[in-house]
Structure 1
């Protein structure tokens, strides 16, 4: 299985990463719990198997949580992938090869980043808009760098993509890999596993990273994307990965035969409810507004299912449980009547929030944190551009993000030749 997984489509591993893996000493046995419908699991398995092949001190066992229910339940595993190292919990959710090495204390010295020469354009973020921006600036002959927490961004969590024009169907992780491969076809300095924490403008822009490194650039394009919005009620954080989940495709099979709730009546929430209805015993949809916001075709499909209940105009008050989720409490917004539902899982699907908290006081933003840009992608700070889901673009779509990345790149190029 390991040979098949690492040779079927050979992963591109930088030589520096290979050297880090080979230098790891001590015994490391990983156990990775997965579901066969999980789109995040294969990449995690592949990363650990690559490490196992390169270093005899490292091994990895893949365990299907649905096939070994008692074992998974004994460890309260309610979200996958779930990685254990030498019998202790190591990580939940998607994690890249570089991130695994960082958690093991084998990350490269961040001082090397600070010693890099200034860039012409530094792109902050590696999602569709960031990748597009990097390609366009590199093609203009500009010295380009990309700093990203993980390449691909939010699309790594997207299973089916059917509206990417000219491609009838693809999947998020596959598209993310293609984006990174395309960017690396050009002379672009890609710096993964780095998160920006501050930005200042003196003679050059200075972007400070959480690792302590500081990168300098003549112009900067912010493509930091967005993250899942939390419902922010008691119990959500306490029971995260213990019944509270955000990915129905990954974690749905772990709730087979159980009762679950989906918070959110937009397209993502109703798609999740439809998907889960084929696996779980019963789904309750909780929508804050008086009517569902999902497309009519999705609503029609939802209401045709026998094991789905829809509660509209309700506010979620609390997710309850002890060591894992046992129920959810909501209030009817019209009558103030409180309802408690006993269940074992809660899937939160209430949209996205822009990753712009770190820009407080730096650049003009909307009341919800979106960076305000003009038709060229320019922000309120000269030389600072933004693109994608972190901006006030009215429609958050992959293809629109790519276009805005190209626009910001051309805007930055125009700025540089005039300054």
Structure 2
């Protein structure tokens, strides 16, 4: 029986692990891999202490700090979270069950899919969800970035110097920070914009060859010859394993209060998996620290004569 189980190895989970270790808690961290969403991010200019750092570089620093503490780590995918009748919790990963007095859910988010014909078939063969990871593979090629938010525009900016041509496709224009829009407009090799278009299919033989679009106004169909497609249409929380245990908002994010507490005593959530209004690395890390401290306080008050 652990005092605490932390689910997730992104900024929230790793920070929670460090704070739990400093409190000498008997804790277990379960994650498929370290890093989380920052591993897909090239330019980070708003994390305190770094004027500029790449996502992988920052997460490497997080990883180094976690490993300085004697915290147990299991590299598994969590498939089920259950609340037990005695007030404890059970976490199932890769067929093995672990029990704890408290749990911090910090499993973050994953890229949202387009859900169009050809997407699943060509994932890894021209369809990508990480410009930072896969952008160099498309040097000198024609690619499309789908989306109108910060991540889509940043992907287009990042790929523009590498690719021969970049198409930027958005259903309804931009929904990005002004500074990012400015950077997009200042590119030496501007992107080709398709604003007000919906992606309807991805086609090809062995790999991606065409992206099929439809104008939202005229319903006219357009086919773009592309060798790569980067899907950047947002994220969805990794909360399926929490079904029936926590309360979700309309985005399936976990509802928490300002102290990271869920509706169940002893169950906390931190980072992008929660209903917090802003999704930032520094906020996720702060959530992780807060959750570990609140979990420690919760256990302290449960102990006899505490």
Query: 2-side partners of 1:131 and 1:308: how far apart?
Result: 37
Deviation at 1:261, TM superposition (A): 0.9
CA RMSD of aligned residues (A): 1.7
Secondary structure of the equivalent of 2:121? Answer: coil
Query: 1-side partners of 2:118 and 2:250: how far apart?
Result: 27
Query: 2-side partners of 1:133 and 1:302: how far apart?
Result: 36
Q: Is the 8 A contact 2:40 2:131 kept in 1?
A: no
Q: 1:158 to 1:277 in 2, by over 3 A?
A: closer
After superposition, give the CA deviation of every residue in 1:10-48 in whole Å (9 maximum; x if it has no partner). Answer: xxxxxxxxxxxxxxxxxxxxxxxxxxxxxxxxxxxxxxx
1:221 matched to 2:108? The reply is no
What does residue 128 of structure 1 align with? 11
What does residue 89 of structure 2 align with? 205
Task: Give structure 1 stretches of 5+ with no counterpart.
Answer: 1-117
Alignment of 1:250-269 (within 5 A): 250-269=133-152
Q: 1:172 to 1:299 in 2, by over 3 A?
A: closer
Q: Is the 8 A contact 1:281 1:307 kept in 2?
A: no
Q: 1:178 to 1:258 in 2, by over 3 A?
A: closer
- Of 404, 408, 411 in structure 1, the residue corresponding to residue 291 of structure 2 is 408
Q: 1:182 to 1:304 in 2, by over 3 A?
A: closer
Q: 1:418 to 1:246 in 2, by over 3 A?
A: same
Deviation at 1:225, TM superposition (A): 0.8
Secondary structure of the equivalent of 2:199? Answer: strand
Deviation at 1:307, TM superposition (A): 4.6
Task: Give structure 2 stretches of 5+ with no counterpart.
Answer: none
Query: 1-side partners of 2:182 and 2:102: how far apart?
Result: 49
Query: 1-side partners of 2:82 and 2:297: how far apart?
Result: 21
- Of 246, 251, 254 in structure 1, the residue corresponding to residue 129 of structure 2 is 246
Secondary structure of the equivalent of 1:257? Answer: coil
What does residue 284 of structure 1 align with? 167
Alignment of 1:2-401 (within 5 A): 118-191=1-74, 193-202=75-84, 203=86, 204-209=88-93, 211-289=94-172, 291-305=173-187, 306-401=189-284
Is the deviation greater in 324-333 or in 178-187? 178-187
* Structure with bigger gyration radius: 1
Q: Is the 8 A contact 1:144 1:187 kept in 2?
A: no
Deviation at 1:151, TM superposition (A): 1.7
Query: 1-side partners of 2:186 and 2:41: how far apart?
Result: 25
4+ residue runs over 3 A deviation: 303-307
Query: 2-side partners of 1:217 and 1:183: how far apart?
Result: 20
Q: 1:259 to 1:240 in 2, by over 3 A?
A: same
| Number of residue-to-residue matches in the alignment | 299
Q: Is the 8 A contact 2:21 2:70 kept in 1?
A: yes
TM-score (ref. length: structure 2): 0.92
TM-score (ref. length: structure 1): 0.68
Is the deviation greater in 167-176 or in 315-324? 167-176
Query: 2-side partners of 1:179 and 1:250: how far apart?
Result: 19
